[in-house]
Amino acid sequence: MSIAVHGSVEPLPDPTAAEHDAASDLFASLLASDDRPGVRVVPVAERSDLARTRLLDAYALLAGGNELPVLRGRADERSSPYGVFADAFEHATGNPEEFTELEQDANLLLRGLFRSLRTPGWAREALGVADAEHHRLHRAVAATLDAMSGPAGTVVLLDGVHHADPASIALLDHLVRRGPRTPILLVVAHDPHRAPASLAAVLDEAGRYRPDDAIAPVVRLVDAGRHRLTQREHTVLAVLAEGLTADAIARRLDISPRTVHRHLQHLYRKLGTADRLATVLHAKSLGILP
């Protein structure tokens, strides 16, 4: 799979309807045009519970319109082990015809497995391993998602992930690193101001995706027009894409290296990136660079 990054990592506190429409349009385009195998991660970083809910409502409708199965779960402050995933499999939706007999059986298997997690000692009883040895469960979930996903894939919508329990974050990390081979669109909606370090680390790992990695790519769905790059920042970005060093950019533009570094820091902040390569790749995906 190859990386597809759309939009900014900088969330707005109160996104407007126009911005949500733009994100929905991009999500619809993604569903219609991108069915590559493997997991793709779509972060939804919004502080407002209502804003996240409305956006996931729109995503669920779009997925249903594309005849894709939808798993939608929500974490809360009292979330039990694997709570957000358990909730998602309890609320698998879609037309019954969308699931084959094998896919229905796989979904029921995961529902029962996640229900059993509420009982201490479940892992030893069900899997013959200590509760702490969750890696076998992680692999089982990935394999079962493969079994229940049709050729066009499955959309998994997870909300309130900043409340997710450590077991859910560990499973999310496994899916990002070694997830299913079938197309899985994994939407991770969270309040970025309340996200634990473990969740930030998972999203950061996905954000560092490279084409030769097994790590899932991040797909960001926010209007590119929000970046508001200045003309000079556009110029620096274009020269940066040629692979020039800061000193070489300074000579090309007849400015000081210190000024170049200042422009680079502004670009990193506006595009939500951390290095030059990621900035160039992100700008190309947004259409800012050809």
Please report the beta strands in the chain, taking only residues with DSSP state E, as ranges in sequence order. 39-45, 70-74, 154-159, 184-190
pLDDT band at 3 (very low <50, low <70, confident <90, very high): very low
Which pLDDT score is estimated for 126?
57
- Side chain identity at residue 34, one-letter code: D
Which pLDDT score is estimated for 232?
83
> Is 142 within 8 Å of 39 (Cβ atoms)?
no
Which pLDDT score is estimated for 67?
79
> Is 252 within 8 Å of 51 (Cβ atoms)?
no
* Chain mean pLDDT for the chain: 76
Which pLDDT score is estimated for 219?
59
- Who wins on pLDDT, 102 or 63? 63
Measure the CA–CA gap between 167 and 80, rounded to whole angstroms: 9
- Compute the average pLDDT of residues 78-103: 71
Kindly report whether the global pTM for this prediction surpasses the value 0.85.
no
- Compute the average pLDDT of residues 93-105: 60
Cβ count near 15 (within 10 Å): 22
Which range, of 59-63, 242-246, 274-278, averages the lowest pLDDT? 274-278
Q: What is the 3-state secondary structure (H, E, C) of 235-253?
A: HHHHHHCCCCCHHHHHHHH
- Compute the average pLDDT of residues 26-34: 70
Which pLDDT score is estimated for 251?
92
Closest CA to 39 of 85, 88, 1: 1
Q: What does DSSP say about strands 70-74 and 39-45: parallel, antiparallel, or unpaired?
A: unpaired
Longest dimension (CA), the chain: 70
Helix or strand or coil: residue 8? Answer: coil
Which range, of 171-175, 257-261, 271-275, averages the lowest pLDDT? 271-275
Closest CA to 87 of 56, 62, 58, 50: 56
DSSP-assigned letters across all residues of 47-80:
S-HHHHHHHHHHHHHHHHHTT--EEEEE--TTPP
Q: What is the DSSP letter of 232?
A: H
- Compute the average pLDDT of residues 254-261: 90
Give yes or no for residue 163 having a pLDDT over 90: yes
> Is 160 within 8 Å of 76 (Cβ atoms)?
yes
Give yes or no for residue 165 having a pLDDT over 50: yes
Give yes or no for residue 230 having a pLDDT over 60: yes
> Is 166 within 8 Å of 199 (Cβ atoms)?
no
Give yes or no for residue 239 having a pLDDT over 60: yes
Backbone φ and ψ for 95, nearest 5 degrees, come out as -65, 140
